Structure formats: structure tokens, C-alpha cells
Structure 1
Amino acid sequence: MAAVAAPAWALRFQGVGNASATELGTPMATIERAGAPWLTIDCGSEGLSAYLDHYGEPPRAIFVTHVHLDHVGGFERLFVSEYFDPARRGRMPLYVPAPVVPLLHRRVADYPNVLAEGGANFWDAFRLVPVGEAFWHDGQRLEVFPARHHWPDTAFGLRLRGSLAYTGDTRPIPEQLRRHADAGELVAHDCGLHGNPSHTGIDDLEREYPPELLSRCVLYHYGSRADGEALAARGFRVARPGEAFTLDAPVAPDAGG
């Protein structure tokens, strides 16, 4: 029987739960190209373990949405794997929205003597790339947009035009998705069974977004397997740990964009 070819583009979830749903893994996902990891979104501790189990290698490039520990708790371990591998040290692109850079530094890098014997800085292990409204990775242009999570200018989403809009942790952001999910993208959206001041609930989702956009949503960052089943019973696609969703191929940005 012939092997089934991997889709040209896909989004694979390493973890889909909220900070308390340890059985679902910390929220982390990877855009794949031809079956290989292309760009990973966030690096939680449990998510990193799932990534290594699946791909057998550290991430090749990472975009950071925000610095809550369920999204960046894997960086200390990742520092070790990157720094002590001469072939990888300082090479992995780490794309971080510019306002998030100092927050990430304080969260994961601001510790005296990252190695007990000295002689190393935390950022020596990575190629840190602060980004604004857009950046380029491996020949593709990606857009960055603000989310509504916890505090202004601390959390951001990611768009690969025509392919994916990934919200990161957020309340509903209809004004952003009207602009950054207007080309048929799959929309990976934070959504639990119940909302709160930092996260979207299913009632919020249904109230704030039109049916056409809801039909393109895949929900993650929910509270339990039972909550995931309840969300699916409302007619939504719900991401499970390790599940991959086929993406359309990216399209070129608008002229001047």
C-alpha cells in the first residue's frame, strides 16, 4: 500500500489545555511544511516534551506569543540543548514581538550566571529576532497582531496569510480577525467552556464572531477533556493533543503589505 504524502502545510498541536489542564498539555503548536516542523508557536515545558517525542529534535524556529509560564516554561531546558550543541548554538531563530522582549528576558533569562562556571549568556544559545507588525521566516512573510490577554501590549497573535491565524491566549478580537483572517485562513482560537477576563468562553465566541469565521475556527486552551467534548457538542472543531490540521498554502501579501 502506497504511503500517504504529508500535506504541504499543516498545524500540529503539541498541547491544547489551559494552565491547569495538565492532561491536555500546555498550549503549543507547530506549523509543518511537507511533514517537517517549520515554525513553532510558544515553548511550554509539557509542550516541549510532546514536541521532542514527536519530532525527535528541538524546535527549528519559535515565535513567542506571550510570557506566561505555560507558554515559555520550556526555555531553560531548550537553552541547555541549544547552547551545548555547537552545531545549533546561536542559530535557532526566536521571533519575539518587540514589546515582549524585556518581559521574556525577565521571565526566563535574567538569572545570575546562567552556567555555574560563568562564561555564557542566556541569549548566546539563540538568534533573538525582535519583530514588529510583520517578519520574514524561510521566505514567507508572517503578520503579528495584538491579542487581548491580561494586559495591553503583552500578548500577540500570528498570521500566515491565506493559511493560518493563530490568536494565542486572548479574549475575542473581532477587529483584529477582520483584518488578519480575511483570506480564508484556519483560525486557531483560545476558547474554553467558560470565559474570564483573560480568556474567551464559548458564549463569547458565538456572540462576537460571524458564522463564516466560526466555521473556520479550531478551538484550543480549554479546561479538560470533558470541556473539549462539550465544545465539540456545540458544533465546533476542537484540537486534541498531537492532532494536525491541514492548512491551505500561504498566499503572497498585498502589494505594499
Structure 2
Amino acid sequence: MDAWSLRLHGVGNASAVELGSAMASIEHQGKPWLTIDCGAEGLSAFEAQYGHPPGAVFITHVHMDHVAGLERLFVSTYFDPERQGRTRLYVPAPVVPLLQRRVGDYPNVLAEGGANFWDAFQLVPVSDAFWHDGLRLEVFPVRHHWPDTAFGLRLRGSVVWSGDTRPIPEMLARHADAGELIAHDCALHGNPSHTGLDDLEREYGEALRKRMLLYHYAGHADATAMVARGYRVARPGESWPLAAPRATMPALP
């Protein structure tokens, strides 16, 4: 069995608490292989699904609906001798100082002192690409608030995760050219930080839109309206099948 899938732990925007914070895991053989983001509601859904905290997380950006679960993940990881220092956090290099200010700068992460926030994790800053469990993943900037503060992720031939973004046709032309499922930020109506259906239809061709799975919307009514317009819309807890990735182990010298 070599099945790959995308599990949606949460699919809503920052206000859609009933949908959970946008967060997903790439699964391999039914187990979480790499998790994307760590919001509070999303982390609860992850732990309910698998019975343990994530072992490897890619952070797209540092808005709290995407990183608020890291404090709880610190606690569950730091006090577990088998996990302490082994939980990988892959973070785009420009995001590292932002993440430090968000979650790592508290004076004493433990009341009695003696610990740094990052002691619980293996922090791995990444640039255009990184290796995880023998496979290469690509990282690319997206259009969300300030430049170089938010990033998307690609596992070639399998899945592209846009992260929070406005339309990014130039990025998807390069990073979604191998038939991947494209999980894309989209609500019924767009705004200066997020994509709406009109934006989607203006910026992307039909062939690309047919590969999209929409998430980060405002509520159940939005989802119903988007489905009525012919789109696939992610629901919390769903698992979507993925093609096996084309990325391979690096060649031995």
C-alpha cells in the first residue's frame, strides 16, 4: 500500500470557529506525514484524529489562526522525553523572526525557568525547497499582507497548498504544473488579503480551477454557494486522495 491523501483538520477563516482553523496533514498510508500549520482548533482536530500531537509541521505564516496551537504543542512535546527536541518545525527563513516574536519571546516559557521555547522542537529554517522523510518539497511566496511573510507548499505531482493568499497565477504556473491537487484559499467574496470566487475566475484558467479544492471560507453558507457554482469545497475532517509524489530520494554519490 502506497496511498497518499490530504486530511483537512480545519477549513475556515479566522472568524469561522465552527469550521476550525485552516490546517491539514499530508498522509501516507493513513498516517500523518507532514502537517501544514498549527492553529488551536486545528491542533485539537489533529489530536482527535490520530491520538497524538504532530511530529512534523510546515508553517505558512504567523497569523494566530495558523500558529496559536504551538504553545499547546510546546507543552505536550517538551514534557514527553520521546518527543522533546524531535518535533520538526519547517519554517520559511523570512518567517523565522516573525514566529520568534509571536511565540518564542515570552520571558519564561515555564514558570520555574530553565527552558527555551525552541527546546521542544527541531526548528528547520527553509528557503526554496527542503527535504522531509526523503522527499523534496518546494516553498514559494504568496500574496498575503506584507511581502515575504506568507508561503505556499508543493509536493511535486501530489499536492499544492496555497496558504492564505490572493490569486497567484504566476506561482501556480511554476509550482502546479504536474497535475497536483491544488488546495486554494477562497471564500465567496474576496478582500485585500484573501481570494474570492470572482478573483479565482478572473485569474485562473478552467483547467487549473478544476484541480482546485477550496478552503478558508467564512461559513457553511459560503460552502453551499461555492458548490452550487461547480467547485469542490473542503469540509473539516475530510480526506482527499492524492497521487503519489514524483519527488524522489537524492541520488547517492
Specify the TM-score bucket, using the shorter chain as the normaliser: over 0.9
Give the SS at the match of 1:194: coil
Q: Structure 2 counterpart of 1:22, which letter? A: V
Q: Does 1:63 align with 2:58?
A: yes
User: Hey, what's the Cα distance between the residues in 1 that align with 2:82 and 2:241?
Assistant: 32
TM-score by length of 1: 0.96
Displacement of 1:109 after TM fit?
A: 1.1
Give the SS at the match of 2:26: strand
Alignment of 1:19-30 (within 5 A): 19-30=14-25
Instruction: Tell me the equivalent position of 1:250.
Output: 245
Alignment of 1:199-218 (within 5 A): 199-218=194-213
Displacement of 1:170 after TM fit?
A: 0.1
Give the SS at the match of 1:53: helix
Alignment of 1:103-182 (within 5 A): 103-182=98-177
Determine which of 61, 82, 98 is the counterpart of 1:87. 82
TM-score by length of 2: 0.97
Give the SS at the match of 2:190: coil
Structure 1 runs (4+) greater than 2 angstroms displaced: none
Determine which of 70, 89, 99 is the counterpart of 2:94. 99
Give the SS at the match of 1:104: helix
User: Hey, what's the Cα distance between the residues in 1 that align with 2:166 and 2:39?
Assistant: 20
Q: Structure 2 counterpart of 1:122, which letter? A: F
Displacement of 1:252 after TM fit?
A: 3.1
Unmatched 5+ stretches in structure 1: none
Q: Structure 1 counterpart of 2:58, which letter? A: F
Instruction: Tell me the equivalent position of 2:186.
Output: 191
Displacement of 1:213 after TM fit?
A: 0.5
Give the SS at the match of 2:184: strand
CA distances 1:17-70 after superposition (whole Å, capped 9, x unpaired)? 000101100000000000000000000000000000111000010000000000
Alignment of 1:26-65 (within 5 A): 26-65=21-60
User: Hey, what's the Cα distance between the residues in 1 that align with 2:240 and 2:176?
Assistant: 17
- Percent identity reads 73
User: Hey, what's the Cα distance between the residues in 2 that align with 1:214 and 1:252?
Assistant: 24
Q: Structure 2 counterpart of 1:193, which letter? A: L
Q: Does 1:239 align with 2:241?
A: no
Alignment of 1:72-83 (within 5 A): 72-83=67-78
User: Hey, what's the Cα distance between the residues in 1 that align with 2:202 and 2:51?
Assistant: 41
Give the SS at the match of 1:176: helix
User: Hey, what's the Cα distance between the residues in 2 that align with 1:134 and 1:117?
Assistant: 38
Give the SS at the match of 2:90: strand
Unmatched 5+ stretches in structure 2: none
Q: Structure 1 counterpart of 2:81, which letter? A: P
CA distances 1:97-150 after superposition (whole Å, capped 9, x unpaired)? 000000001001110011010110000000000000000000000000001001
Q: Structure 2 counterpart of 1:215, which letter? A: K
Q: Structure 2 counterpart of 1:90, which letter? A: G
User: Hey, what's the Cα distance between the residues in 2 that align with 1:35 and 1:236?
Assistant: 26
Displacement of 1:192 after TM fit?
A: 0.3
Give the SS at the match of 1:195: coil
Give the SS at the match of 2:148: coil
Aligned length: 250
Tell me the C-alpha RMSD between the 2 structures. Answer: 1.3
User: Hey, what's the Cα distance between the residues in 2 that align with 1:202 and 1:73?
Assistant: 28
Q: Structure 1 counterpart of 2:239, which letter? A: A
Q: Structure 2 counterpart of 1:168, which letter? A: G
